[in-house]
């Protein structure tokens, strides 16, 4: 760690320039190092550790990895750039970002949309990536010959477990992978009877000191960063499929601001980001790498319907984000029982399970707690903005709450009973429509044909 103290650390908001200085990879210990700096300040070095990663023998894979590493450097920089929002962005190795200016601008502006809204700052006016002519070797994608198998991002919640099971049932060889060393994630993968690849990520320690010195702080598009990490991993370990479990509900804006701009907490889980990143991979890395979401055709309620039957995971999973931080969990047990994620999980599970079954999973009954009423109103969009969290559409919450009002096991619960009159005054979707696979997707045809939902919908983005 640098010897610079928090007292000496300059406020990055006063910086004029944010520089992408360099990135490197050591095949000997499997460590990637990514570096940035504000003005002439201390270099900010992040480390990504790929355990037991073999260095590819083929020149084509080595070249593809180097391009993927540069993409990771550019994408991961958003965590540091947001600390100062410098008016100038400099790429020291100019060819690194050549041809990616539009992609990076879209990612930084939309991925920092929530950050901008909460901090009352216009990020779009500040993000100016330099435009340079790309060298030939930076734009030539490499053909790769890899066996059919998938790196599957695992988060410890219901979505990734449903995605993992769908791929496994389709006969695709899978390797679950996580960023960090969460024990909860390890427990869920162990319940699936599979090994787990845990990739380490160590943020530059100076970032915490900058926060103490007054840096901008807030939400960043973590899924985009993890996607770029797994792009590098797919080439090192030899997996042509990079699979996330992002549902179609992630496309809904969290809110529309006063200027009419859509702000989406889940931008980097959206099909918009997925499409853009796929184009970058095909053009810059390899057309043989397929990045896609296995759950894109499904709504959150459709996923919960499938998960309700996966009883072997009910005692080990959690959708509460207070479990998942790079520095470890921030609660005891698996559920905090007082956040939007816990509320939405309770509501969605209740649609397919009994009160006793939901209590056994969460350790409480949020739908019978009057103090949780305002939180459920926000989920349903009843006079409140949808929370900045990875939860289902407001329409999904409304239809679930309305259905519980007609369910003998749930209708007497305090929150369910309190919200029924308000649901009569708003639009409530049809449950059958939400449970039917209906979204466009990027699932490779050879995989989609083997999925359990292949006969239900055959869309293609």
The owner of tokens 């009843």 is: 382
* Phi and psi angles of residue 21, each rounded to the nearest 5 degrees, phi first: -85, -55
Residue 144 lies inside a defined structural domain of this protein: yes
Give the pLDDT band (50/70/90) at residue 95. confident
pLDDT digits (tens, 9 = 90+) for 311-366: 999 988 888 877 544 444 444 568 999 999 999 999 999 999 999 999 999 999 99
pLDDT digits (tens, 9 = 90+) for 7-51: 577 899 999 999 999 999 999 999 999 999 999 999 999 999 999
Give the pLDDT band (50/70/90) at residue 138. low
Percent of the chain with pLDDT over 90: 77
**Structural element, H or E, at residue 153:** strand 149-153
pLDDT digits (tens, 9 = 90+) for 393-426: 999 999 999 999 999 999 999 999 999 999 999 9
- What is residue 281's DSSP assignment? I
| 268 and 386 assigned to the same domain | no
Domain count, the chain: 2
Residue 85 lies inside a defined structural domain of this protein: yes
| 269 and 320 assigned to the same domain | no
Is residue 6 predicted with pLDDT exceeding 60?
no
| 288 and 309 assigned to the same domain | no
Strand partners, 237: none
385-to-264, 372, 425 alpha-carbon distances in Å: 12, 16, 17
Q: Give me the pLDDT at residue 155, please.
A: 87
| 382 and 236 assigned to the same domain | no
User: b or e along 221-259 (b: 16 or more beta carbons within 10 Å of the residue's beta carbon)?
Assistant: bbbbbbbbbbbbbbbbbbbbbbbbbbbbbbbbbbbeeee
Tell me how far apart the alpha carbons of residues 414 and 205 are, in angstroms, rounded to a whole number: 46
Residue 5 lies inside a defined structural domain of this protein: no
Residue 454 lies inside a defined structural domain of this protein: no
Residue 445 lies inside a defined structural domain of this protein: no
| 256 and 312 assigned to the same domain | no
Give the pLDDT band (50/70/90) at residue 302. very high
DSSP, collapsed to helix, strand or coil, labels residue 176 as: strand
Range with lowest mean pLDDT among 242-251, 380-389, 400-409, 448-457:
448-457
pLDDT digits (tens, 9 = 90+) for 85-94: 999 999 998 7
For residue 409, give the nearest of 353, 341, 448, 327 by alpha carbon. 353
**Is pLDDT larger for residue 154 or for residue 453?**
154
Radius of gyration in angstroms for the set of CA atoms belonging to the chain, rounded to a whole number? 22
| 352 and 373 assigned to the same domain | yes
Residue 409 lies inside a defined structural domain of this protein: yes
| 374 and 330 assigned to the same domain | yes
Give the pLDDT band (50/70/90) at residue 460. very low
Residue 449 lies inside a defined structural domain of this protein: no
pLDDT digits (tens, 9 = 90+) for 183-194: 889 989 999 999
| 166 and 261 assigned to the same domain | yes
Q: Which structural domain range is residue 381 located in?
A: 300-435
Of the residues 236, 262, 293, which one is the last residue of a structural domain? 293
Tell me how far apart the alpha carbons of residues 221 and 80 are, in angstroms, rounded to a whole number: 12
Tell me how far apart the alpha carbons of residues 394 and 384 are, in angstroms, rounded to a whole number: 10
Of the residues 244, 264, 293, which one is the last residue of a structural domain? 293
Q: Give me the pLDDT at residue 134, please.
A: 66
| 289 and 315 assigned to the same domain | no
| 216 and 327 assigned to the same domain | no
| 24 and 49 assigned to the same domain | yes
Q: Give me the pLDDT at residue 224, please.
A: 98
DSSP, collapsed to helix, strand or coil, labels residue 217 as: coil
Q: Give me the pLDDT at residue 181, please.
A: 82
Residue 455 lies inside a defined structural domain of this protein: no
Q: Give me the pLDDT at residue 389, please.
A: 87
| 144 and 228 assigned to the same domain | yes
């Amino acid at each position: 760690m640098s010897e610079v103290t928090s007292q000496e650390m300059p406020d990055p908001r006063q910086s004029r320039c944010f520089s992408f200085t360099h990135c490197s990879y050591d095949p000997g210990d499997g460590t990637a190092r990514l570096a940035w700096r504000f003005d002439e300040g201390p270099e900010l070095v992040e480390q990504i550790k790929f355990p037991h990663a073999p260095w590819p023998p083929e020149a084509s894979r080595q070249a593809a990895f180097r391009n993927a590493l540069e993409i990771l450097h550019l994408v991961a920089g958003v965590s540091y750039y947001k600390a100062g929002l410098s008016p100038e962005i400099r790429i020291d190795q100019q060819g690194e970002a050549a041809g990616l200016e539009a992609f990076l601008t879209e990612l930084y502006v939309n991925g920092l949309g929530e950050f901008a809204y909460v901090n009352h700052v216009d990020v779009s006016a500040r993000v100016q990536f330099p435009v340079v002519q790309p060298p030939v070797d930076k734009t030539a994608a490499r053909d790769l010959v890899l066996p059919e198998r998938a790196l599957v991002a695992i988060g410890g919640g219901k979505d990734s477990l449903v995605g993992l099971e769908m791929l496994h049932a389709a006969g695709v060889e899978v390797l679950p992978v996580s960023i960090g060393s969460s024990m909860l994630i390890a427990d869920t993968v162990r319940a699936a009877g599979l090994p787990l690849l845990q990739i380490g990520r160590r943020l530059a320690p100076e970032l915490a000191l900058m926060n103490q010195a007054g840096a901008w702080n807030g939400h960043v598009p973590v899924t985009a960063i993890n996607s770029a990490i797994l792009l590098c991993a797919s080439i090192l370990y030899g997996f042509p499929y990079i699979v996330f479990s992002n549902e179609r509900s992630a496309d809904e804006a969290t809110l529309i601001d006063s200027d009419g701009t859509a702000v989406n907490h889940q931008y980097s889980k959206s099909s918009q980001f997925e499409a853009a990143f796929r184009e970058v991979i095909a053009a810059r890395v390899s057309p043989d790498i397929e990045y896609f979401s296995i759950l894109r055709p499904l709504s959150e309620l459709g996923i919960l319907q499938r998960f309700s039957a996966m009883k072997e995971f009910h005692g080990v999973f959690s959708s509460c984000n207070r479990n998942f931080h790079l520095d470890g969990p921030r609660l005891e047990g698996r559920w905090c029982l007082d956040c939007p994620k816990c509320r939405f999980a309770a509501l969605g599970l209740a649609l397919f399970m009994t009160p006793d079954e939901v209590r056994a999973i969460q350790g409480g009954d949020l739908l019978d707690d009057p103090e949780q009423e305002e939180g459920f109103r926000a989920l349903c969009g009843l006079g409140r903005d949808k929370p900045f969290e990875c939860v289902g559409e407001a329409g999904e919450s409304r239809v679930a709450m309305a259905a519980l009002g007609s369910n003998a096991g749930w209708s007497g619960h305090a929150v369910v009973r309190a919200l029924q009159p308000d649901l009569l005054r708003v639009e409530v979707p049809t449950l059958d429509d939400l449970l039917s696979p209906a979204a466009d997707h990027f699932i490779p045809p050879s995989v989609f044909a083997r999925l359990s939902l292949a006969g239900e919908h055959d869309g293609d983005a």
